[in-house]
Amino acid sequence: MKNKLTEYYSMAKFISREVFYEAQMKQAGSRQAKFLEKCEKNKKYIGRMVLILKIVSSFMIILLPLIYLISVPSVLDLLKPSGNIEITAITYGIVFSIFIISYMTYLILFGLYTIGAFMSGDSFNWLRTLPISKKKLRKYAFMTLFRSIDLQLISLCVALPILIMILTQNVVLMLMSFLISIPNAILCLCVLIFLGEKISRVIFSKENTSKKSSRTKILVFGLIISVSIGMNLILQFIFYGIEGFVSFFTLSPDTHVWNLILSLIPYPFGPIYFITLFISPTNVPPLLILTSTIGFLLFLGITYVIGKKALKSIKSVIGTEKERKSRKSSQELKLEEINIKIKESTTTIAYIKKDLTTAARDPQSAMLLIMPIMITIIMILSFSSGLTEVSDLNIQLLSFLMISLVMISTINPIMLVSGLMNMEESGSTITSALPILPRDQAKAKLILMILIHKQFLLLFQR
């Protein structure tokens, strides 16, 4: 049995590598040639990328929330033992619930592409033609899924216990948090599988190439990238405001009622309240023990139900083409009469049109144009968050303007130039065969860059 498991695990290495590769190729979009070039130069490139991504995402899951504890000392003050179990319970309940949610978000952000590629089922197309029984194929699928995010899942299981051990130095609490981390990791994985399934239909679908689906792809891409970049900002805002939020509950005369209500919410409060029962078991009111236990059992129940559904989704990934088609929404085709019209324009305009059309069709190219603006906004907000400490409104406004102008005039153009240059790599073989003057090419790029940059400045002025 053990040998068989090892065999499945070692064979899953090849499949998970293919899954990762599929995900990377999709992410590369129109810059696939560059990615392939790196693979050609270094045959260990994919293997290294897999390892680096695993290590980085595992560190992010464990370390990033800890950084906020250090950078926002008020959170540490909040978690100091108060002597009142009701206050301790509500404080722990809120603070650790934020951590649990942040762990889940990081797992989703780092694993979404890989799991999306896995859920598309494309990596199993060839395996289906080999003499592998459905039962075996299912085992390979489970092992592949695990191998794709094994380190991240292990990090998810140990992140909360490490955090609790650092903050409370209570071994019992640490052990309890480890026990609840296992179902929590399962729940996070299931959520990731569902989201991966959804994203595979949008991003990994080879069938739907309509304008509508291109727009959806761009929207989803934008959303993922904004959340990935903005996650730190969101956590920063949450932690800066947490003191006031917790005070609302702790200073309320009905803290015990709030505790009873929150502990009944299965996720994220259910498991956290269950741990807090072990801070001082003899002092916890019996009603809170009851509601916390109910909340925890509900959390386990939800994990079980969602887990079963996720299993079904995984099984459909390796099913026959018919089974896989049934989970895809039926594709609707509109047959229209095709009118062929050729419009004449200058080389520069033709180039600008080419870039804009590429951006409208290819999410990665669109991101190259949208990202400079998004990143600049995020950077402005991130740097400005510290200005709340400044009491003088005029200085606050002046500092905000200074930060914004520096960001707009530095980050935006750098990213735009790099983005527009990167766009040039797609279809380079076609353009290199055409009689184009490099000056016209550069002119088109400059006009597009000025247009985007100007639009952003106008937007900012408003």
- How far apart (Å, rounded) are the C-alpha atoms in residues 262 and 115? 32
Asked if residue 333 binds another protein (CB under 8 A), the reply is yes
For another protein, the binding residue among 73, 83, 131, 438 (CB under 8 A) is: 131
Q: Which is nearer to another protein, 24 or 184 (CB)?
A: 24
Residue among 302, 304, 111 at smallest CA distance from 192: 111
Report the amino acid identity of residue 62. Answer: I
Q: Binding residues for another protein, how many (CB under 8 A)?
A: 31
- The two three-digit tokens of residue 246, written as one number: 């917790």
Asked if residue 125 binds another protein (CB under 8 A), the reply is yes
CB of 212 to another protein, least distance (A): 14
Rounded to 10 degrees, the C-alpha dihedral 121/125/130/132 comes to 10
- Among positions 6-35, residues that touch another protein (CB under 8 A) are 11, 14-15, 17-18, 20-22
Asked if residue 40 binds another protein (CB under 8 A), the reply is yes
- Give one DSSP letter per residue of 190-247, joined into a string: HHHHHHHHHHHHHTS-SS--SHHHHHHHHHHHHHHHHHHHHHHHHHHHHHHHHHHHHH
Q: Which is nearer to another protein, 20 or 351 (CB)?
A: 20
For another protein, the binding residue among 6, 34, 36, 446 (CB under 8 A) is: 36
Asked if residue 48 binds another protein (CB under 8 A), the reply is no
Report the amino acid identity of residue 50. Answer: V
CB of 252 to another protein, least distance (A): 56
Asked if residue 133 binds another protein (CB under 8 A), the reply is yes
CB of 142 to another protein, least distance (A): 17
Q: Which is nearer to another protein, 23 or 369 (CB)?
A: 23
What radius of gyration, in Å, describes the C-alpha atoms of the chain?
26
For another protein, the binding residue among 28, 39, 101, 264 (CB under 8 A) is: 39
- How far apart (Å, rounded) are the C-alpha atoms in residues 94 and 106? 19
- The two three-digit tokens of residue 290, written as one number: 């009851």
CB of 361 to another protein, least distance (A): 22
Q: Which is nearer to another protein, 169 or 339 (CB)?
A: 339
Q: Is the separation of the CB atoms in 88 and 279 below 8 Å?
A: yes
Q: Is the separation of the CB atoms in 331 and 128 below 8 Å?
A: no
The window from 124-132, 148-156, 179-187, 453-461 that contacts another protein (CB under 8 A) reads 124-132
The window from 128-136, 346-354, 375-383, 430-438 that contacts another protein (CB under 8 A) reads 128-136
Q: Is the separation of the CB atoms in 194 and 313 below 8 Å?
A: yes
CB of 5 to another protein, least distance (A): 15
CB of 1 to another protein, least distance (A): 18
CB of 363 to another protein, least distance (A): 21
Asked if residue 341 binds another protein (CB under 8 A), the reply is no
- Among positions 64-123, residues that touch another protein (CB under 8 A) are 123
CB of 25 to another protein, least distance (A): 8
Q: Is the separation of the CB atoms in 183 and 141 below 8 Å?
A: no
The window from 36-44, 79-87, 173-181, 348-356 that contacts another protein (CB under 8 A) reads 36-44
CB of 33 to another protein, least distance (A): 10
Peptide bond into 268 cis (omega under 30): yes
Q: Alpha-carbon torsion 426, 427, 432, 435, what sign?
A: negative
For another protein, the binding residue among 1, 70, 251, 335 (CB under 8 A) is: 335
Residue among 162, 13, 185 at smallest CA distance from 107: 185
For another protein, the binding residue among 1, 130, 338, 458 (CB under 8 A) is: 130
Asked if residue 326 binds another protein (CB under 8 A), the reply is no
Asked if residue 197 binds another protein (CB under 8 A), the reply is no
Asked if residue 342 binds another protein (CB under 8 A), the reply is no
How many alpha carbons lie under 13 Å from residue 233 in its C-beta half-sphere? 17
- The two three-digit tokens of residue 26, written as one number: 């999709």
- The two three-digit tokens of residue 259, written as one number: 């505790």
3-state secondary structure 2-57: HHHHHHHHHHHHHHHHHHHHHHHHHHHHHHHHHHHHHHHHCCCHHHHHHHHHHHHH
Binding site for another protein (CB under 8 A): 11, 14-15, 17-18, 20-22, 36, 39-40, 43, 46, 123, 125-126, 128-133, 320-322, 330-335
